[in-house]
Structure 1
């Protein structure tokens, strides 16, 4: 296949991905009002969010449609990416890439679900508890939505940790033995990342850090299996090395 044929194939893949994303975003628009109402009812427990400008409700529904359609379209975009790069990969790389892409999508959705189902309600209730007798905790619609998107996106990205560690082992960059011996540093950086994603209070940091630490140690087992299968001649002393 010539260079121009590769470019044409890439262009076709991009257009198919854009078309699917647009269709899903347009579909999500029809459900955006219900999704927005469900989010407000779930997080504010009976309170109503405030639309502080004439366009705020419309802008919020647009953002809900964009994020929902984009997240749902992501597996198809990854599939198109796979179709484009697969012919240039070795057989062993193709066997690794498919589970990696599936796991990436699953972990992303798990991270988003974790944020919405557990982390966000706890953080919102905790922040509202700081209101005094002369303060009525009310939230604007867009501020609540942006806060929720930040939490969900952050958790979705942080839940990719196992894939990062497995890739490091796959390419022989870092052995699982090194990762295991540096677990204290890993826990520290996990807590630091949790502080960036959350408001930085102790309870929400702990709730987010706990599954990430668990994922880290599960990842060590997976990284060890990958390391042993690909780098048998490179012995790394230490636990799981």
Structure 2
């Protein structure tokens, strides 16, 4: 009898290890498929900057290994992003057996909805924010200054913005979880809307470059997603399902 809990814990740890290994393997498979195109992928990422640079200007590599490591690093990060649905499936397969039925109805769409929102944030940054921000940066360069961005510095810059926009696009998911767990309520969040507006611009100021364009382009979607999160949370909050031990499975 005393060995049963230990055996159960070992089984859970073994299952967790297998899920982690499957997730890592999924990322490696995607990486192996993309690594041949690493240079092309970086070229595509650099297009928003190259399109706004003055004629004759180009990107440079100040480190000997940068031409190799920058595309390699980008491909690894991209592989993780593309493998995210498979990683979430592994997470779901691990936690689903211990959830109640009403929890499954909420967690499953939130997990996959969060993936969609993260991709949407990255796409918004690449297709909307980058062209406007880089155009602004190149237009305000002092006369006589040659623009020649280092490829590693550029990669770190855009990855930071990708994560910033991807994370902030998860606001609806965070709001739904907070309301569903009883930490707050939609009505309470609506009452705090003026503070949220100020907080959105403060956060965007900290996460984006020091220009009003990128800051505004992050703050405005944050506010819209905040409103979306309140509307979705209100639907779940009205139902307020009670967990029933018989519903587990």
For normalisation by structure 1, the TM-score amounts to 0.92
| Per-residue deviation, 1:125 | 1.6
Moved more, 110-119 or 128-137: 128-137
Give the secondary structure class of the aligned counterpart of 2:83. helix
Correspondence for 1:170 among 177, 180, 192: 180
Answer whether contact 1:26 1:65 (CA < 8 A) is retained: no
Correspondence for 1:52 among 62, 70, 74: 62
Residue in structure 2 matched with residue 20 of structure 1 by the alignment: 26
Is it true that 1:228 corresponds to 2:212 in the alignment?
no
Residue in structure 2 matched with residue 239 of structure 1 by the alignment: none
Residue in structure 1 matched with residue 120 of structure 2 by the alignment: 110
Answer whether contact 2:31 2:75 (CA < 8 A) is retained: yes
| Per-residue deviation, 1:231 | 7.1
Residue in structure 1 matched with residue 3 of structure 2 by the alignment: none
| Per-residue deviation, 1:222 | 0.9
Which stretches in structure 2 are left out of the alignment for 5+ residues?
Answer: 1-6, 243-249
> Structure 1 residues 97 and 231, CA, compared in 2 at 3 Å: closer, same or farther?
closer
For normalisation by structure 2, the TM-score amounts to 0.89
Residue in structure 2 matched with residue 131 of structure 1 by the alignment: 141
Is it true that 1:36 corresponds to 2:33 in the alignment?
no
Correspondence for 1:196 among 203, 206, 213: 206
| Per-residue deviation, 1:69 | 0.3
Residue in structure 1 matched with residue 246 of structure 2 by the alignment: none
Answer whether contact 2:102 2:241 (CA < 8 A) is retained: no
Residue in structure 2 matched with residue 237 of structure 1 by the alignment: none
Q: RMSD in angstroms over aligned alpha carbons?
A: 1.5
Distance 1:218 1:41 in 2: 32
Moved more, 158-167 or 2-11: 2-11
Answer whether contact 1:40 1:48 (CA < 8 A) is retained: no
Distance 2:208 2:145 in 1: 23
Ranked by relative contact order (alpha carbons within 8 Å, sequence separation 6 or more), the top structure is 2
Residue in structure 2 matched with residue 238 of structure 1 by the alignment: none
How far does the alpha carbon of each residue in 1:115-135 deviate from its partner, in whole angstroms, 9 at most, with x for none? 111112211121222212221
Distance 1:62 1:125 in 2: 27
- Count of matched residue pairs: 232
Answer whether contact 2:178 2:184 (CA < 8 A) is retained: yes
Answer whether contact 1:172 1:231 (CA < 8 A) is retained: no
Give the secondary structure class of the aligned counterpart of 2:130. helix
Which stretches in structure 1 are left out of the alignment for 5+ residues?
Answer: 233-241
Answer whether contact 1:120 1:151 (CA < 8 A) is retained: no
Distance 1:75 1:192 in 2: 31
Moved more, 183-192 or 35-44: 35-44
